[in-house]
Each structure stands twice: as structure tokens, then as C-alpha cells.
Structure 1
């Protein structure tokens, strides 16, 4: 009996360890799909525009149709995992995402592609929260969970670079359609393995705040559509005015719904804390500027500098490398040693300078004119993201932890969509009024108009970030020094790296809590 126990226990532990590794691989793969799908199509935008006859302003919807729905339904997806079971919701989300990717790859018109992108957003909103929750469930040991979270964070940050590079390769070597088709075999593999290894989680009683999710998503869509429509048809256009009016009415209805709902998707009391509300707005503005930069630079590199799709993807690699490095420095070195307010303001200032630098681009600019602004922007964003996140979650009541964490991601998605819509409007107005040099050919006139519009877009994006710097300096209150109870190093000083690692675990655990 003793011998049998000694043999079976290690075997059972090995089986459990293999299962945990499979779950980790599944979650990382699913997260990579969700993250890179926000950037992989960027490289394909010029080819998509030509194939499906998108207008320059309408092209922004290829990005916004995904991010708006993803952000708008993210908290509802988290709640669905709690109520229906996370395994079931995860599988449903991945299946929906996979089918929508297949449909988008076969799209023969702009409308069909945008519809498929919106459905992809629904699938991502269902899969992403449940994936993280399942990861936390499968790694109960703190040390193993910390390692798993480290991999998850690396994939979340590096996914944008993977999307840009793989998007370039697929677009150039096969077709733009494969930036969508590539999700199909990956999604099918994830589903096949998930059916074998993923455990089901207990269901929790609760209610779906469908009215809140629908009014908020449609309200933001109305505002975004109004901006994009204004870029092509003017501010006096009846459809533009109607879109803005509908957006405002729906967002007002959303607030009314949340005030009355028994289980609101967004507890409005979260915005009562000045620091937290400021961090949400700051994140929205920061991502608004970043999405505009990706959108315009991708087209600038291919349409003006005539880079191939592959080279265009690689051109963004330095940005991702320095962003990741700066975020690690912010989390492991600066946290606990430098006030969060100082790190936020300093990082946002660097990002602002980088965007202002990009306003000097012209049709004959080389890559070096982009490289240094990109590096500066990446360093600034990397430094600012960590303290922005910790400020958004600091002091949150445990009952609101899930909603507070979810709002961080919602602000990121909505900020990207709304910011891009505003910048596209500015771009459209500036490019139409651009005066081409005398004797310029048709191609030169088109390039000149694009550069003028893009430069103006970069300027407004820089103003977004400049406003964020002022907001942080004025509204964020100085935080007291870390408590003495923080774990200490051998020389008795607080171990900031340990404290930040624990904070990361708590923040990610909160993201899986009841929304």
C-alpha cells in the first residue's frame, strides 16, 4: 500500500503539471489572438483599402469596429463567465472569434468586413476575461501563478509587435485576407485542446446588465461614427448631426440605467475617487494618441516611403522593444522609489515630445526621422502604463475590484476608437485643404495631402497627451510612502520588486473577480 502511494503521487503530480502547462499555453495563445488582432490588420490597411474601396476616413472602421465592440462588451463578457461558467464562455468566445475571422477573410465588400470585425470583437470580449480567470484557477500556488502571470504580461505587451510583423509577412507573401484567415487554424486548435483539458468553474447567481452594455456600446459607436462622418461629409451633414445626437442620448440613457441597475456593469461610484477617475481619463487620452500614430504611420511607410508590408511591420519593432523594457523598469525599479505621479508625468511628457517630433514628417523623410520619435514615445508609454494601472486600482472596494480592473481595459479600447475617430476627422479636413507644390504630379499631390493631414493628426494626438500631463499634475494627489510592512531585502530596505510583483498578482486576480 505504501509503495503504491509513493508511485502514484508523483505520477498524479506530473499529470497535473502537464495539464497546467497545456492550460497556460491555451490562455497565452488566446490572449495573443485577441491582442494582435488589434494591430495585425494595421499593416494590411492599404491593401484592404484598394481591394474593398474604402475611403481614407472610412478605413478607420476596420480598426474601430473591433475595438469598440470589444471594449463595450468586455465587462459583460466577464459577468457572463461568472454566471454561465468560464469554460463555456471561453469556448463560445473563441468559436465566435474564429468563425468571424473566416467570414472576414472571405469578405467581398467593406460592409461585410466591418460586420465580421464587429463579431470578432464580441468573441474577444467573451474569451479574454474568462481566459485570465481560468489561468488564475489553474495556478493556485503563488509562485507558479506569478510565473504564469509573467508570461501572460509578456504576451500582452509583445502581441502588438507580433501582430505588426506577422501582418506584414502575411500581407506581402500571401494576401491581406490571411491576416484574418490565420486565426482559423489557431482557433480550432485552441478549441480542440480546451475541450480536453479545461475544467469548468462554478456558476454564480447574478443578472446581466444587457441594457447598460448595449446603450454604452451603441452610444460610443454613435459618437465615433459622427466624427468619421464629419471627416468626409462635414459637420453640417444631417447624418453627422443625427449620429452625435443619438450618441449623446444613448450615453445619457446608459448613465440612467447604471444608476438604477441592481448589478450595474459599471458601478458609477468608481468615478467618485478623484485619482481613479483621473487615471481612467489619462489612459483614454494616452491610447487615443497611440492608435492614431499606428494608423497614420502604417500608411505613411507603405504609401509614401513605399516600404513593403514586411519592412513596415519590422519598422515598429523598436517601439515595442523599448515599451516593454520601460514598463519593466517602471514596475521593478521606479515603483516604491519614485512617486507614481512623477513617473506618470515624466513618461507622458516623453510621449508628447515624440508625437510632436512626428509632426515634422514630410514626403521625403527617411526612417531615421521616425525612429527616434518612436523610441521616445515607447519609453514614455512604458513608464506611464504601470503607475496609471496601479492608480486606477488603488483603494477599490473588494466588491468593485472586477469592475475597476475591467474599466482599465475598457478605457483602453474605447480611447483607441474615439481618439482615432477624432484624428481621422482632423486628417480629412487638413488633407482636403492642403495646397500641393506647383507642377506636382497626381501621385505627389496625393502624398503631399496625406502628409499634411497626418502631420495635423500627430499634432492633435500630441495635444491629447499634453492635456494628460496637465491633468495628472493637477488632479492626481501625491501618494504616501509605501507602508513599512512591505517585504524587505537583506539590508532592511523595502524590496520594491517584490512589492510590485505582489501588486501585479492582486491586480490580475481582481480582473477575474465578480464584475
Structure 2
């Protein structure tokens, strides 16, 4: 069912929009280009500090205007903080893992885009099969517990990519098992995160809670893509040189080690997302809801 905030207006905070989106873009740019520019390069620092400044001004703007782009009062609720923080880190790990897997298949194993898609397909298929039953289990066991299970599966599967995947293709033994395990982790996590973000909000705030979670996950996706790219920048340089000279790319052991470290970083991020949820996610008290400006919550 659709929900409507009776106090909502049609006003859009254009100033907040002009501060928030460029802020995220500049931080992402700094991460993406850090491999080429270097972290202490003036361009990297300017993009990073500029992005942080714009985001700080965005938060300030949202705390002072009557119709903010982002309702900061929701962050007074621990379950909102937990669900959105977990969503941010989950999306960093998910996009990072997905890009690493795709780049490995196409650049190292020399799979075509179509073959890469088929190779990755067991993960999404597993996720789709598990999403609905895991959503029901989240209602029974609690969102945090189900998401923790998903985070452990994702962390383990992604870590095993770094331990088992070799330069010589062996899809059935080295990639497929972990693709299915990470797919199961996604099935436990995706719908659970969406539901957890607005689980206890009054109907009038469902849309804002859902939009906030979607925004955090989109930001996480951008950061995950940037982080993955920066961790395997050496592979990107080799691919660029091979494209320029029209030769087949030749990767060194150092490049393979970069992929292993990148997978391990994503595995750690997944686990951290689960720990955030299991530690902080709690049903709010009526006092917390009142302090956040919400009259009541959904039981």
C-alpha cells in the first residue's frame, strides 16, 4: 500500500540537491583517481576535501530548512542508523565484489561479456530463489539475525574467491561454489535491508525511510565501484596499454595479488555490515520515537 505524509509539501530543496549530489560525486572521484593521482596529490585532496565540505553543508542545510531533502530526525532512531549504515557497507561490498568478479572473468580468464554473464548468473538466481523465504524468516527471527547470516555467507564466499580463484580457468571448482554461496548471502540481505530501514516507522514516514535507505545504498554502490577500481588499478593500466597496442594483456603475480587483497577487503566490509546490524538494530522505544518527532511506531 502507498503511504502519504499529511504534512508533506511539494517543495523541493534545490539548494540541498546542489550540495548533496556533487559532494558524493567529488568523494567518489577522489577514490577512483587515487590510484592514478596518488592520495597526497593536490587533485585528490581537493576533490576529497571539497566533497566533504559540500556534504557537511548539505547536512547543515537539512537541519535548518522547513522541507529538507533528507529528514535528519530519523537518525535519532538507532534502528534507522543501523539499517542505513549496514546498507551503505553492504552496497560497497556488493558492487566491489561484482566488479572484481566481472573484471577477472573478462580480463584474466578472457571470457566474453556474454560468457561472463552466464558464469555470474548462478549467484543472482540463488539470490532470487531465497529472497522471498528469507524475507519471511526476517519477520519471524528478526531482520538483524537474517542479515547477519547473509553477511557471513557473503564474507566467506568473497574471501574464498581470493583463496581459490587462479589465473588458469577452472570455473566449476574455483568459482561456481562461491558464486552460489554469495548469491545465498545476497538473498538473505537485499530485501531484509529494505524492510529493516522502515520496519518501525509510522506509515507517513515509510516513503522517507525507504528513500533514505535507497540513497545510502546508491552512495555505497558508487563508493564500492570506486574502491574496487582503486584496489586493482594495476590491472586497469595493463588493460589500457593492451588496448592501445592491440595486444593481449599479460598480468603479473602482483596484479593477481591485488585482486586477492581487493576480494578480502570486500569480505571484511560485508562482515562489518552484519556486525553493525546485529549490534545496533533494535526495536525503538516510544521515548525514542517521540524524541525523533514520530508520534508512534508500527509494531
How would you bin the TM-score normalised by the shorter chain?
0.7 to 0.9
1:331 deviates by 2.1
Q: Contact 1:348/1:469 (CA < 8 Å) preserved in 2?
A: yes
In the TM superposition, 1:369-388 aligns within 5 A as: 369-388=174-193
Cα deviations across residues 463-506 of structure 1 (Å, max 9, x unaligned)? Answer: 111111221222123799xxxxxxxxxxxxxxxxxxxxxxxxxx
The aligned counterpart of 1:282 is: 86
Distance 1:404 1:376, change over 3 A: same
Cα deviations across residues 375-405 of structure 1 (Å, max 9, x unaligned)? Answer: 1111011112233222210222444322111
- Whether 1:351 and 2:154 are equivalent positions in the alignment is yes
Cα deviations across residues 81-123 of structure 1 (Å, max 9, x unaligned)? Answer: xxxxxxxxxxxxxxxxxxxxxxxxxxxxxxxxxxxxxxxxxxx
- Whether 1:459 and 2:235 are equivalent positions in the alignment is no
The aligned counterpart of 1:409 is: 214
Q: Contact 1:304/1:447 (CA < 8 Å) preserved in 2?
A: no
Distance 1:217 1:444, change over 3 A: closer
Q: Contact 2:96/2:227 (CA < 8 Å) preserved in 1?
A: no
TM-score by length of 2: 0.83
In the TM superposition, 1:14-413 aligns within 5 A as: 206-332=10-136, 334-360=137-163, 361-368=165-172, 369-413=174-218
CA RMSD of aligned residues (A): 2.6
1:219 deviates by 0.5
Cα deviations across residues 173-202 of structure 1 (Å, max 9, x unaligned)? Answer: xxxxxxxxxxxxxxxxxxxxxxxxxxxxxx
1:447 deviates by 5.6
Structure label with greater radius of gyration: 1
Q: Contact 1:423/1:460 (CA < 8 Å) preserved in 2?
A: no
| Alpha-carbon distance between aligned partners in 2 of 1:479 and 1:345, rounded to the nearest angstrom | 20
| Alpha-carbon distance between aligned partners in 2 of 1:444 and 1:216, rounded to the nearest angstrom | 39
SS in 1 for 2:111: coil
Cα deviations across residues 347-390 of structure 1 (Å, max 9, x unaligned)? Answer: 11111101101112221142121111111111011112233222
Q: Which runs of 5+ in 2 are unaligned?
A: 238-246, 286-297
TM-score by length of 1: 0.49
Distance 1:229 1:313, change over 3 A: same
| Alpha-carbon distance between aligned partners in 1 of 2:139 and 2:54, rounded to the nearest angstrom | 42
| Alpha-carbon distance between aligned partners in 2 of 1:424 and 1:309, rounded to the nearest angstrom | 18
| Alpha-carbon distance between aligned partners in 2 of 1:423 and 1:254, rounded to the nearest angstrom | 27
Higher relative CO (Cα under 8 Å, sequence separation at least 6) belongs to 2
Cα deviations across residues 260-303 of structure 1 (Å, max 9, x unaligned)? Answer: 11111110011111111111111111111111122122121122
Aligned residue pairs: how many? 271
| Alpha-carbon distance between aligned partners in 2 of 1:381 and 1:466, rounded to the nearest angstrom | 13
SS in 2 for 1:344: helix
